[in-house]
């Protein structure tokens, strides 16, 4: 059963934005790098060293797409919009080190603070309330938006999958910034960005990833989300 599409607000033209990805050597960041490069964006992936960033970019480049690499500071400096897809451990420290380079930019945080035990995945408590709120706390000169938490890294990296059939919940306090991120999500075939509230709502969005991991394990799937009647 499909979803009903109502009139959507006009969104900005984001086709010329250069997208930096911190954590582009990981599956989630790498998958987003591939999809945005296929959509025609200049994509830069960062790592702690320029050499590792260039190596990651070389692995992600291919027919119809070009991905550049460098160290995190250079990528943060050059990109118009930066996606944070690093492991939760060290998340705050890394962003604090890049405060200068990220000043004045939209920072999209897709980090999910999670732990794993015999019972499966579970959400970790975060002092600030969520990874996105932690990012906002250490990046007061940036505009932080939470998004891309629930998209399957396996599907992103699988180029035989032409359409990523999922909605992207977008949370943030600045409406022009959330509109920009919604427009970016819409650039990837099959994806649809959906405004899902203020940044204070990021905690439950991040935590929902643990439920989707349980769905995937039970049903041997790569589950995503669809919002109905929108």
Task: Taking residues 128-144, report their average pLDDT.
Answer: 98
Task: Taking residues 42-65, report their average pLDDT.
Answer: 94
Model confidence band, residue 9 (pLDDT cutoffs 50, 70, 90):
low
Q: Is the pLDDT of residue 5 over 70?
A: no
pLDDT per position as a tens digit, 163-209: 999 999 999 999 999 999 999 999 999 999 999 999 999 999 999 99
Residue 78 carries which DSSP code? H
Model confidence band, residue 25 (pLDDT cutoffs 50, 70, 90):
confident
Q: Is the pLDDT of residue 157 over 80?
A: yes
Under a CB-based contact definition with an 8 Å cutoff, are residues 205 and 149 in contact?
Answer: yes
Ordered DSSP codes for 126-188: -TTSSHHHHHHHH-TTSEEEE--SSS-HHHHH-TT-----EEEEEEES-HHHHHHHHHHHHTS
Question: Half-sphere exposure of residue 100, counting CA atoms within 13 Å on the CB side?
Answer: 3
């Amino acid at each position: 059963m499909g979803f009903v599409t109502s009139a959507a607000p006009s969104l900005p033209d984001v086709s010329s934005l250069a997208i930096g990805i911190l954590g582009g050597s990981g599956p989630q960041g790498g998958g987003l790098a591939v999809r945005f490069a296929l959509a025609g964006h200049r994509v830069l992936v960062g790592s702690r060293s320029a050499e590792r960033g260039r190596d990651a970019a070389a692995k992600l480049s291919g027919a119809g797409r070009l991905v550049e690499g460098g160290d995190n500071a250079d990528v943060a400096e050059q990109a118009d919009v930066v996606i944070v897809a690093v492991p939760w451990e060290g998340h705050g420290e890394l962003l604090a080190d890049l405060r200068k380079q990220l000043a004045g930019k939209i920072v999209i945080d897709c980090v999910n603070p999670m732990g794993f035990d015999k019972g499966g995945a579970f959400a970790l408590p975060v002092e600030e309330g969520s990874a996105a709120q932690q990012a906002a706390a250490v990046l007061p000169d940036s505009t932080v938006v939470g998004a891309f938490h629930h998209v399957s890294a396996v599907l992103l990296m699988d180029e035989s999958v032409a359409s990523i059939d999922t909605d992207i919940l977008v949370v943030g306090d600045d409406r022009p910034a959330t509109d920009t991120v919604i427009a970016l999500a819409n650039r990837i075939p099959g994806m649809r960005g959906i405004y899902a509230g203020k940044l204070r709502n990021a905690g439950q969005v991040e935590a929902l990833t643990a439920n989707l991991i349980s769905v995937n394990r039970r049903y041997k799937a790569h589950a995503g989300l669809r919002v109905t009647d929108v």
